[in-house]
Structure formats: C-alpha cells, structure tokens
Structure 1
Amino acid sequence: MHFALTDEQRELAAAVRGMVTRRAAKTDLRAAIDSPSGYDTELWSALCEQIGVAALAIPEEYGGAGFSLFETHVVLEELGASLTPSPLLGSGVLAAQALLAADAPELLPEIAAGGVVALAWADRAGRHRTDGSDVVASAGTLNGTATLVLDGAQASHLLVVAMADGRPALFQADVAAEATPAVDQTLRFAQVEFRDTPATLLAADFTEALPRLHAIAAIACTALQVGGAQSCLDRTVAHLKEREQFGRPLGSFQALKHRVADMLVQVETARSISWAAGFAASNGDDLVQQAAYAKSWCSEAFTAVAAETVQLHGGIAITWEHDAQLYFKRAHALAHLFGDAREHRARLRTGA
C-alpha cells in the first residue's frame, strides 16, 4: 500500500489550511469557542461552500461530492492541527454515515450543504455502545437518556439509536438537547432526555451498522489526533529555536534534541497507522480491526506529545493565554472519545 497523499489530496489539505489561517486573523480560536454555536459559523460556511468539506464522503446523487472518507480524513487532520471547532465530525461524518447505513438519504443534501445533524448513541455512562442503547422505542415514541451527543445543541435534526423489539434501530426525533460542559472546549457535547418523544423510524435493524459506525468514528478521531500532535511538534521546535538559555537556543542542547526526536517518531508512526485506518474506512477492509489499532496507538501518541509540549515550553505552557494547554486538553478528551486505548486493545484480543 502506498502511504502518500495524491496531488489532489495535498491541494485539498492546503486549501483548508489556508482558509483556516486567513480566517484566524479575523476570528481567533478563543472567540470561536466563546460564540453561541461554539464554532466560527462564517468559517464553517466558507469551508462547505467553497471547498465542500461536508459533502466529500456523500454520494453525488444525494448532493455530495462523491469522494471517500479518506478525503474527509485529510480535512479533519488539518482542522485538528489548528484545533478548529466545527460540526464536521458529528454531522459530516457520523450523522451522514448513519443515514447512508440506514438507506435514509433525505437529510444528506442538508448535511452536504453544511447543515448540522447530530447522532445520539451514547448511553447514560457515556459509552458509545455497539450492542444497543439506554434509549428505548415503543409505539413510535422514545424514552431514556443519551449523552455525549456531538453538536447536539446546535443541530437542526437529531438521529437516535434506540432499542426496539430487542435490537438497536435508528430513529429521527425533534427534541431539544441540553449542552454539557467538556474539558476540551473545542468540542461541544449535549445530553438529550427522551420522555415519550415522538420519533420516525429510519432503520428497524441497525445491529450490523453500529460496529462499522463506531469504527468510522474512532478512525475520524485519529485524524484529529495526528493533526494536533503535528502542531504540538511544530510549535515545540519553533519554541526551542527561539528561546535561549545560557546564551544558546534551547534547541541546541542534545538532551532536548533527543526528546524532540522521540516526539517526531510518535507523530510519524501515528500518521502512518491513522492513514492506514483511513484507507480502510474508504474501502472497508478490516475496518474494525484497523480502527482498534489506530485509535489505541494515536490516543497514546497524542497524549505523550502534548505532555512533552507542555514540559518543553516550560511554565508558559500552563497559562490560559498559551495554546499548549488547549492541545493538552484536546489530547485527553480524544483519548477517551469512542473508546480509550485499553478498550480498543481488548477488542483486538477478543476479536469483538
């Protein structure tokens, strides 16, 4: 397998990077986080209208661009590098793939155009389960609680995985979601309470689709992790070149060079395994296994690189004004989202 981006994929990455950089001069990361939506809506609109990031993995007959999940993977890596908050993971990946799996394409054109559709499928304990849900469907209504709904409070439509007749099914429901605080402020979660909530059935049996959807979610997370780890490395190298101690740049000290070299190895190995999983998401080969390999490795790599970034930046890294603490929080949040390293390694051992 040839692990390299095509010319078109490199141009896609450069276009996203350039647009994010230009927009940051007007609205920085913290301003986007503090906005009512939790992300820069003008930037998101531009990314969707001018580059089509939300439409990449949606078939053309449903208003999409007809590419693959790997192109979305490339975009997520760029957004992860800048910590750019957006609905791409929750809406453009999870909700879109759930609708495709359910063969219910009605909302796909809206998602492709940049509309936000959320997927509720975590139980009360915050587990994105592949064996069901705490939400139960009966006589066309839903009851229960769903947590960790990505962009749920900002969504115009809500998809719900609920138990119906002893098996998971997919529904669409119109219900308000309550935003919940998160350690990583660049990710927006919500909790949804269902109390005899009317719902429309989209797929009566969603059993086989759930493990694949969980794997796609985990793989998408690794793209964000690789992008964040690369940015941590780049920022650390720049700091060590500029900061002087005893009349010499910090980067000239051999002990620090070794630590940065270790960071580089972790970033590059994480990128290789993440790309391998991204290709698997596009062609379906060993998807669940590749997701487990990638999520376990990338979670620990990003966590380690982010910790080293804080250490090598010194005391300034733990101040609110410096971005190192944001990457550190992102690393720990993504390490647990859609399964931590231990859970994915257990999945490899058991073959589940």
Structure 2
Amino acid sequence: MEFAFTQEQEMIRDTAASFLKDASTSAAIRSAMASDLGYSPDLWQRICTDMYWQALHIPEEYGGMGLGYVELVAVLEQMGRYLLCSPYLATVAMATNALLIAGTDDQKTEILPQLIEGKTATLAFNCGGNVWNSNAISASYRHDGNDLILNGEYRYVLDGHSADYLILAAREEGSSGDDGISLFVCEAENDGIQRSLLPTMDQSRRQASIQLNNLRLSKQTLMGEFATAAKSLAKILDLATIALAAEQAGGMQQVLDITVDYTKTRNQFGRSIAGFQAIKHKAADMMLRNEVARSAVYYAACIADDALSSGPLADELAEAASIAKSYCSEAYFKNAGEALQMHGGVGFTWEYDVHLYFKRAKASEHFLGNSSYHRERVAGGLLD
C-alpha cells in the first residue's frame, strides 16, 4: 500500500483547500446556518459545476471522474477543515455510495447523472437510538400486488428536509436483525412522506426526521433483491463512516491552526502566551492527535478503494472504518476542548469560530457511532 499522495491527489487536495478557504468563510458559514436550507444553493452549484467534486468517485460510464476513495477523502478533509455547510456528505458519501453498491443499472443510469448535475440525496435508516447498523431499522414494508407499502419513522437523516432523493432502508414485516432488510430509492416529494427538521446542537449540519405513512412504491424502486440488503447497508455505512472521519481530521487541523494563531496575538505578563511552556505542550499534543487521525483516515481510505474495486474485504473495511472513527471522534472533541481553553473566555463567544468547531466535533462524535460503539465493533471482530 502506498501512503504518499500522487501529484494528482496533491493537486486535488490543494485545489479544495484554496477554493474552500475563499468560499466557506466564517461569514458564509454563519449565513448558511441562519438559512432554511442550511447551505447556500449558489455555493452548492459552484461545487457541482465548477469543482465537480460530487462526481469524484462515480464511474466514467455514468458521467463521473472515475477516481478513488482516497481522492474523495482528501476533499472531505478540507471540507471539515473549513466547516463547509453543504449536503455533500449525505449526497456523495451516503446516497451515491448506496447507489454504487446496491443500485440497479437502471437506477445508476437515471439518478447518478442527476446527482452530478446538482440534485441532492440522502440515506435514511436509523429509527432512533444509538445503534448504527441493521438493528436500528424499524421501518417496515409489505407487498401489495405489484407495489410495496412502507411505514415507519427515521431519525438523524442528514439533510433529509431538503434532499431531492431518499434512499430508504426498511425491513419486511415480522423480520429482525439482518433478515428482511431491503433498500429503496425514491423522490423525496412523494405522497406518504412527511419531513421535518430536528433541533440540533450543530447548526452547521441539518438533520431531519422522516415519517412514512403508507408510502406506496413500485418494485422498480427496489435496490438489488428483496430482503438481502443487510451486507450492502453495512458496507455503505462503513464508507460513510470513513468519510465522516476524514471531515473530523480536517476539523482537528483547523482547530489547531486557529488556536495557535490566537495564542500568538494574546499577551499576558508582557509577552505572547504562545511562548508559555504549558501552551506549547497542549499545542504539541493537539498536533500529535492530528497526525494519528490523518494516518488512520487515509489507511481506511485505501481499504475503501480496495473494497469498492474488488467487492469483498467486508471485515477489513469495517475494522478500518471503526478504528478511524473511534480515534477521530475522541481526538477532535479533545482538540476542540483544548482550543476553547486556550482561547480563554472568548472561545465561548459568538464572535469566535472555535465554538462552531466544538459543536461540530460533538455532533460528529455521535453520528454513525461514537468511540465506544466502534471500539466494541473492533473488539467483536477480533473475537470472531
């Protein structure tokens, strides 16, 4: 495995950093947070038409760039660094991956080009609680002639209030565990679908609840075969977990950068606090956590590339995803907390951005499973 960036990957990362530094400013973040959508439609269209990031790992046959997961992770790291408010994680790291892994040829041909052009999508599976696998699914479906009837509620659906397409995980009535799981893709504006925003601590990323009330879907909306989607869903969630960990690694870096810059300007006892040994030690520990997190994330991205190209490697992918997420979740929140302390009282004020990263760190820690959840996954895999 080669752990050094190619020139093309460096160019992708540097271009993303340059673009987002100008586009996702503090003012832009706060404006997006105050909007109904939670992101700027104009900026989203620039990302889609100018940067073409949503097409990074979509195969060329569907209009994409045909690159790998390492390139995708490099962009996501910069998005986390600049706290980009956008439906990118939901659309690309969750819904697009679901289509690539479980979608039929017709579904890929129809929907993927629309996502490349700027349509948004998301994945709904968790019906509440802190379990992030097929056991979190309580929404159900039953057959009604040539159609399917779905009922149930989903929680914590990223950008679920505004997505154009929904990918729904539901289980056959009477099933449990991994049995009976199916995936369906449909347009969000549909009779039987009720969407509402959830109040969240992190205002830079919106979550929604989705209620299905006798939603009638045709069998053409089924992704793959009936009652066989548990393994596909696990793979989709592992890929999304790696993507989220990449965002966390980027946020950690920015938290360190803005904190070091601040300590250079704050004076106590006649000199900059950046020269105090205690501050230096905290900054060094933050940097160490950054480097470890980045190593875990890019190792997981390499495993993801292999898993997407060859198909198997389910155990290796799950282990790598959980290692990256468990470490990044704790390290990001620890770094954000240290940043608040090093800023002093002003760190909690609205004028400084460090509190925005603190909230994103806590929200990201719990989404798709916190560190304890993922450590248990790793331990369970080692015991199997």
Shift of 1:172: 2.3
Q: How does 1:1-352 map to 2 (within 5 A)?
A: 1-24=1-24, 28-104=28-104, 105=108, 106-125=110-129, 127-131=131-135, 133-139=137-143, 140-164=148-172, 166=175, 167-173=180-186, 174=190, 175-199=193-217, 200-203=221-224, 204=226, 205-284=228-307, 285=313, 286-351=316-381
Which amino acid in the other structure matches residue 275 of structure 2? S
Identical counterparts, % of pairs: 36
What is the CA–CA distance in structure 1 between the aligned matches of 2:134 and 2:160, rounded to whole Å? 20
Distance 1:150 1:26, change over 3 A: closer
Which amino acid in the other structure matches residue 278 of structure 2? A
**TM-score, normalised to structure 1's length?**
0.96
What is the CA–CA distance in structure 1 between the aligned matches of 2:302 and 2:37, rounded to whole Å? 32
Aligned-partner SS, 1:186: coil
Counterpart contact for 1:83–1:228, Cα < 8 Å: yes
Which amino acid in the other structure matches residue 266 of structure 2? R
Shift of 1:17: 2.0
Distance 1:75 1:65, change over 3 A: same
Counterpart contact for 2:128–2:155, Cα < 8 Å: yes
What is the CA–CA distance in structure 2 between the aligned matches of 1:260 and 1:25, rounded to whole Å? 24
Aligned-partner SS, 1:171: strand
Query: Tell me, which stretches of 5 or more residues in structure 1 are unaligned?
Result: none
Shift of 1:126: 5.5
Query: Tell me, which stretches of 5 or more residues in structure 2 are unaligned?
Result: 308-312
What is the CA–CA distance in structure 1 between the aligned matches of 2:121 and 2:197, rounded to whole Å? 15
Distance 1:232 1:323, change over 3 A: same
Shift of 1:156: 1.1
Shift of 1:244: 1.0
Shift of 1:208: 1.4
User: How many residue pairs were aligned?
Assistant: 352
Structure 1 stretches of at least 4 aligned residues deviating more than 3 Å after TM superposition? 24-27
What is the CA–CA distance in structure 2 between the aligned matches of 1:38 and 1:249, rounded to whole Å? 38
Shift of 1:23: 2.6
Shift of 1:341: 0.5
Which amino acid in the other structure matches residue 168 of structure 1? I
C-alpha root-mean-square deviation of aligned residues, in Å?
Answer: 1.6
Shift of 1:218: 1.1
Shift of 1:110: 1.2
Counterpart contact for 2:140–2:172, Cα < 8 Å: yes
Counterpart contact for 1:55–1:65, Cα < 8 Å: yes
Greater CA drift, 110-119 or 218-227 = 110-119
Shift of 1:41: 1.6
Greater CA drift, 188-197 or 38-47 = 38-47
Shift of 1:217: 1.3
Shift of 1:97: 0.9
Shift of 1:309: 0.3
Counterpart contact for 1:131–1:168, Cα < 8 Å: no
Aligned-partner SS, 2:181: strand
Aligned-partner SS, 1:142: strand
Counterpart contact for 1:215–1:291, Cα < 8 Å: yes
Aligned-partner SS, 1:300: helix
Aligned-partner SS, 1:208: helix
What is the CA–CA distance in structure 2 between the aligned matches of 1:25 and 1:147, rounded to whole Å? 30
What is the CA–CA distance in structure 2 between the aligned matches of 1:188 and 1:54, rounded to whole Å? 19
Greater CA drift, 288-297 or 28-37 = 28-37
What is the CA–CA distance in structure 1 between the aligned matches of 2:154 and 2:26, rounded to whole Å? 36
